[in-house]
């Protein structure tokens, strides 16, 4: 039987969490933070997502709040008994003067899995955001499953970024070719939105052999990378994070 679940986080400026609602495979835990952020860690309570599951996480960072969300382990997409894909929705809302650092562990697409992921972000004009996405295509020694992932970000009600990628069997032709992954099995991106970029925009440059930093048409920067494995990918994105988001 497939799972329907929606977990929800709401963070206040005083460090409180008026809403911290776990559901299904998402066990939300307030964990210790060494910085100015309220920290929530997502702990997997069961194997998910499986084919046919309908999962979602919603996070609201109210005006002036600082929230860090991470996860205790990688998320592994697995095949289900039926033919329906799993869906995984992430909805993030960040208020005036608020900061969200969304830093989950990797998403691993096991062989035979089929996952549709949709991340939607709404930012106030003075909000700041750090968002990391990492996709590992197949566990060690196996072929990848199918992944379709879309990221849509609005700032002050206007589009900032809207992009979709698709990998694996059933996706568009050439996803593994030289113009896309070129045989790599780890891919990811780091999005940083900071109002200070309006006066001091970042410059486009190459960060590593297969990673580029590009300024967006707005106070934001996007790092896109491919790598042979998860370790190399994380190293590249961590380096970019230290450059772009000292807050």
Pairing of strands 146-155, 114-123: parallel
Tokens coding 18: 């008026």
pLDDT at 214 over 90: yes
pLDDT at residue 151 in the model? 98
Q: Quote the tokens at residue 83.
A: 């033919």
Which pLDDT value is given to residue 178? 73
Cα(94)–Cα(168) distance, rounded to whole angstroms? 33
Could you give the CA distance from residue 28 to residue 10 in angstroms, rounded to a whole number? 12
Q: What is the pLDDT of residue 121?
A: 98
Give me the phi and psi of 131, to 5 degrees please: -130, 125
Q: What pLDDT, on a 0 to 100 scale, did the predictor assign at position 31?
A: 97
In the DSSP assignment, the letter for residue 70 is: E
d(CA 207, CA 212): 5
DSSP for 23-37?
BTTEEEEEE--SSSS
| Percent residues over pLDDT 70 in the chain | 99
Cα torsion 7, 240, 206, 229: sign? negative
The C-alpha atoms of residue 12 and residue 20 are separated, in whole angstroms, by 12
Q: Are 66 and 33 in contact (CB under 8 A)?
A: no
Compute the distance between CA of residue 240 and CA of residue 72 in angstroms, rounded to an integer: 22
Share of the chain above pLDDT 90, in %: 77
Do residues 176 and 185 lie in contact, with contact meaning Cβ atoms separated by under 8 Å? no
Mean pLDDT (whole number) for 129-142 = 94
pLDDT band at 40 (very low <50, low <70, confident <90, very high): very high
96 Rama class: left (phi>0) / alpha (psi -120 to 50) / beta: beta
Residue 47 pLDDT = 74
pLDDT at 68: 98
Q: Indicate the domain borders of the chain.
A: 4-244
Supply the pLDDT for residue 181.
81
pLDDT tier, 217 (very low <50, low <70, confident <90, very high otherwise): confident
Q: Does pLDDT of 183 surpass 90?
A: no
Its pTM stands at 0.95
Q: What does the pLDDT read at residue 93?
A: 98
User: Which of 102-106, 167-171, 209-213 is predicted least confidently?
Assistant: 167-171
pLDDT at 247 over 80: no
pLDDT attached to residue 225: 96
pLDDT for the residue 208: 81
- Average predicted confidence (pLDDT) for the chain: 93
């Amino acid at each position: 039987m497939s799972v329907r679940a929606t977990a929800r986080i709401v963070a206040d400026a005083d460090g409180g969490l008026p809403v911290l609602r776990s559901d299904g495979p998402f066990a939300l835990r307030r964990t210790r933070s060494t910085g100015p952020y309220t920290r929530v860690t997502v702990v997997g309570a069961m194997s998910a997502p499986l084919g046919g599951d309908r999962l979602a996480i919603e996070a609201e960072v109210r005006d002036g709040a600082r929230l860090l969300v991470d996860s205790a382990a990688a998320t592994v997409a697995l095949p289900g008994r039926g033919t329906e894909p799993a869906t995984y929705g992430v909805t993030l809302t960040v208020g005036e003067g608020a900061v969200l650092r969304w830093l989950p562990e990797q998403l691993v697409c096991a062989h035979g899995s089929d996952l549709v992921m949709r991340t939607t972000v709404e930012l106030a004009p003075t909000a700041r955001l750090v968002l990391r996405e990492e996709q590992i295509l197949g566990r060690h020694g196996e072929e990848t499953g199918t992944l379709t992932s879309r990221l849509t970000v609005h700032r002050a009600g206007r589009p900032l970024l809207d992009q979709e990628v698709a990998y694996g069997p059933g996706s568009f032709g050439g996803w593994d070719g030289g113009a896309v992954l070129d045989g790599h099995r780890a891919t990811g991106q780091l999005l940083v939105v900071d109002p200070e970029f309006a006066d001091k925009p970042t410059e486009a440059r190459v960060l590593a052999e297969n990673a580029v930093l590009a300024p967006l048409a707005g106070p934001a920067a996007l790092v896109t990378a491919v790598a042979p494995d998860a370790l190399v990918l994380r190293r590249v994105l961590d380096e970019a994070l230290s450059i772009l988001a000292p807050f």
